[in-house]
Chain A
Amino acid sequence: MSQQQKVASPEMQQFILQQQAKAQLQQTVSRLTEECWGKCMGNPGNYMTSKEQACMDNCARRFLESTQFVVKYFQSKANQGGQHSDF
């Protein structure tokens, strides 16, 4: 008895990849907004002050830069001589 294997069509595969990318983006935005809300926002007024706006924008960008920084930092440590890597 032959097992009929169902393989996702190329269209479906692309859809899956798109949805994964979308979900990851939403998760990043969601987490960043939470993080930066705590750092930037005072009591909710009728509008965001320009200071709050700038803070939110800066916070998001610096957070992403920090991610790159951390990765690069450990990579450069690994390249310098792996005998010091503890894990």
Chain B
Amino acid sequence: MSDFSEELIRPKTEDDQEESCLFSGTGMSFPWLQKHIGTVATGGKKEKDFAQTTNACLSFIQEALLKHQWQQAAEFMHSYFQILEDSDSHKRQAAPEIIWKLGSEILFYHPKSNVETFNTFADRMKNIGVLNYLKISLQHALYLLHHGMLEDANRNLSHAETWRYGEKSSSQEVLINLIQAYKGLLQYYTWSKKKMELSTLDEDDYAYNTASQNMLNHSWKTSVNLCALIQTPGVWDPFVKSYVEMLEFYGDQDGAREVLTNYAYDEKFPSNPNAHIYLYNFLKREKAPREKLISVLKILYQIVPSHKLMLEFHRLLRKSEKEDHHKLGLEVLFGVLDFAGCTKNITAWKYLAKYLRQTLMGNHLAWVQEEWNSRKNWWPGFHFSSFWAKGDWKEDKALACEKALVAGILLGKEREINLFSVDYLGCENSALCHRRWVC
């Protein structure tokens, strides 16, 4: 996905960061380097004070934005507009975009600003330098959405959609698709509201028919709008989700499957865990065979081994008949617990304790050893320290027990009952644990 469309779908709150990396496409910014390049560009000729002060003005605006001093930022902005009259055509052409970004940010937060001011500003900026028309229209629409003005946003998007300027460049084509998709999303919103209304109506009611007819109309329009964007490579989660929901609602399972499969497996699309999750959930709803589900989750496992679906994945693998699936099941559990965010996941520990025993009883000591070898250096400190033991014991006894069981198996097998594990092993004495250990 190109840089700008990424900017566009980023939520508003991240605009601050956006400003800081405004001048470097890669997202890295070296102020000193910028300065240096600046002097090189002028060929050693002394920069005019005009250029110098407008640059200084820009930094003052950025600083004020960073400190949320909207008033100050507006003051400096007042002077910064003169860059539109810069005699350096290169700077002059880059100016509208910078001004739009800074100005919209100020107007978004400034206490004296309101929707009307923002609208005037946006309309004015749209017409300075044609290249920004679509981008500004879209962001304008997002602003209106943010303020709950769906109608206005929709009108704005429709306007932008029909806008043409000479030969469309390829970048603008994507933008138009994006604008259409947002329009589609708005229509989806109305549609889903209607769906809610419909669910309250009685099927025999006269109103039901009209309502459902209405809905159908909407869905058709929406799908037209969403279709084009979804086929372009990119991350389009909300669009895909709503599109699939509609397709499913009207019973077009094949269409939905196609969209999701394409979204998940097309090489041109960037790697996106959500694509696989959507596909998995869809297949689950469809009651697809286990083999199929496993293959989807396998990819998700490679991208996000700590995802909460991994436990489900483990269950699927456990139930599978294949031996290598069993082995993978163990890997998956270890993988989940490698992540700091999952250390207190009692289900994971429970599964691990149970599955370890099962594996050992199935005479697959080698599998356990294979997994443990890479972890024996750090897991004891990571999971089984006395600090954790005390904490766990205090907060969640059940968790402590499960962990103790695992520790017992793993560390016991290694015959390395070290300091860390003493506490965990100590709590084995508790009746509950003991019972589990015995059975």
| A is bound by B | no
> Which residue numbers of B lie inside 8 Å of A, CB to CB?
none
